[in-house]
Amino acid sequence: MHALILIAVYLAVTLTPLVLSTLQGRPLRPVWDEISSGLAMTALAILLVEFVLSGRFKVISARIGMDVTMRLHQLLARTVLVFIVLHPFLYQTPYLTFPLPWDVSRQLTLGLTIGSLASGLIAWVALPVFVLISIFRDQLPYRYETWRLMHGVGAVLIAVMAMHHTLNAGRYSSDPLLAGFWLLLMAAALGSLVYSYLIMPLKEVARPYRVTSVRKIALRTWELTIKAKSGNGLQFEAGQFVWLNLGRSPFSLHENPFSISSTPGCDAGIQFVIKQVGDFTNRIGEVEPGTTAYLDGPHGNLTLKGRSGKGIALIAGGVGVAPLLSIAGQLDKDNDPRPLVLLYGNRLADQIVYDGKLKLLAGKDNRDVRLVLSEPEPGWGGLTGMIDRATLDEVFGFDDAAQWLYLVCGPPAMLDAVETALMARGVPASQIVSERFYYN
Q: Which residue is nearest to ligand FAD (CB)?
A: 278
CB closer to ligand FAD, 272 vs 406: 272
Shortest CB 407 distance to ligand FAD, Å: 14
Instruction: Give ∠ CA 298-223-205 in degrees, rounded to 5.
Output: 40
Query: Which distant-in-sequence residues (6+ apart) come within 8 Å of 216 by Cβ?
Result: 222, 223, 285
CB closer to ligand FAD, 257 vs 285: 257
The pairing of beta strand 383-384 with beta strand 367-373: parallel
Shortest CB 197 distance to ligand FAD, Å: 13
DSSP summary character for residue 284: G
Shortest CB 131 distance to ligand FAD, Å: 17
CB closer to ligand FAD, 169 vs 321: 321
CB closer to ligand FAD, 279 vs 400: 279
Query: Which distant-in-sequence residues (6+ apart) come within 8 Å of 111 by Cβ?
Result: 95, 96, 99, 100, 103, 169, 171
Shortest CB 319 distance to ligand FAD, Å: 4
Shortest CB 258 distance to ligand FAD, Å: 4
H or E segment at 180? helix 176-194
Shortest CB 350 distance to ligand FAD, Å: 16
How far apart CA 61 and CA 71 sit, in angstroms, is: 11
Under 8 Å between Cβ of 407 and 302: yes
CB closer to ligand FAD, 398 vs 438: 438
Shortest CB 120 distance to ligand FAD, Å: 32
Which residues of this chain interact with ligand FAD, rule CB under 6 A? 66, 138, 144, 241, 255-259, 272-275, 277-281, 300, 319, 322, 435, 437-438
Shortest CB 403 distance to ligand FAD, Å: 27
How far apart CA 427 and CA 406 sit, in angstroms, is: 9
Q: CA dist 341 to 309, 338, 344, 368, Å?
A: 13, 10, 9, 5
How far apart CA 129 and CA 127 sit, in angstroms, is: 5
Would you mind telling me the total number of residues written for the chain in this entry?
440
Shortest CB 77 distance to ligand FAD, Å: 16
CB closer to ligand FAD, 99 vs 412: 412
Residue type, 242: V
CB closer to ligand FAD, 52 vs 319: 319
Q: CA dist 293 to 110, 141, 152, 258, Å?
A: 54, 28, 24, 13
CB closer to ligand FAD, 11 vs 132: 132
How far apart CA 406 and CA 175 sit, in angstroms, is: 51
How far apart CA 62 and CA 302 sit, in angstroms, is: 9
CB closer to ligand FAD, 88 vs 285: 285
